[in-house]
Amino acid sequence: MMIPQPVVDKLNQQIANEFGAAHNYLAMACRFDELGLKKLSEFFFRQSDEEREHGRKILDYVLEVGALVKLQSTPEPSGDMSSPKSIVSSALEQEKEVTRQINEIAATAEANKDFATRSFINWFIDEQVEEVSTMSELLNLVELAGDSHLLQVEMRVAKMLAVPHSS
Ligand SMILES: [Fe+2]
Ligand SMILES: [Fe+2]
């Protein structure tokens, strides 16, 4: 089955975006490790793995529909990593940006009457609701805690990590 080229282009771009997000989360995980916040570090390592799986899921779909996968280079990690709050705030911005990108794919699929991709992308639309919600919750926690109560955030994150993730 062939899907319209504008949709293929968007999907290839999103593979790069997801791998880019994975790369950013990897840098954030390393930064938290450096700060001695091991649970936050673990949380971001896990986020990174998930983004990589997202990229792979889209890549598999492009292959499945018989279109050409076009990989791009991954940009150097970006975002303010000066404090736990700035890291989580960058992460939330990234998730909001990914939500815009996913919505754009849905819009392009609809505009091109590509209902297969429109259906495929629903999983990502739902996933983004969860991702933005989780990251907002984490930002609230970090803001509430301030610099002096980050260990309490670590305890809460440890509980979040104990729940097996769906994706
Ligand atoms: Fe993702
Ligand atoms: Fe994400």
- Give the pLDDT confidence of 78-111 residue by residue, as tens digits: 889 999 999 999 999 999 999 999 999 999 999 9
Residue 24 is assigned to a structural domain of this protein: yes
Q: How many domains does the chain have?
A: 1
The first and second tokens of residue 118, run together, are 């429109």
For residue 167, being part of any structural domain is answered with no
- Rounded mean pLDDT, 20-47: 98
Domain residue limits at 121:
5-162
For residue 55, being part of any structural domain is answered with yes
| 149 CA from centroid of ligand 2 (Å) | 26
Evaluate if residue 13 carries a pLDDT over 90: yes
82 domain-assigned? yes
**Which CATH number do you get for residue 124?**
1.20.1260.10
128 alpha carbon – ligand 1 mean position (Å): 7
At 115-155, the pLDDT tens digits run: 999 999 999 999 999 999 999 999 999 999 998 899 999 99
Tokens 């996913």 locate to 102
Asked whether residue 63 is domain-assigned, the answer is yes
Q: 127 C-alpha to center of ligand 1: Å?
A: 8
For residue 123, the ligand closest to its alpha carbon is 1
Residue 144 lies in a domain: yes
pLDDT the model gives residue 167: 55
* C-alpha distances in Å from residue 21, one per residue of 39, 85, 151, 156: 19, 18, 26, 24
51 C-alpha to ligand 1 centroid (Å): 4
- Which sign, positive or negative, has the C-alpha torsion 33, 94, 77, 122? positive
pLDDT at 1 over 90: no
Ligand nearest to the CA of 130: 2
Does some domain include residue 58?
A: yes
- Which ligand has the shortest distance to the CA of 46? 2
108 in any annotated domain: yes
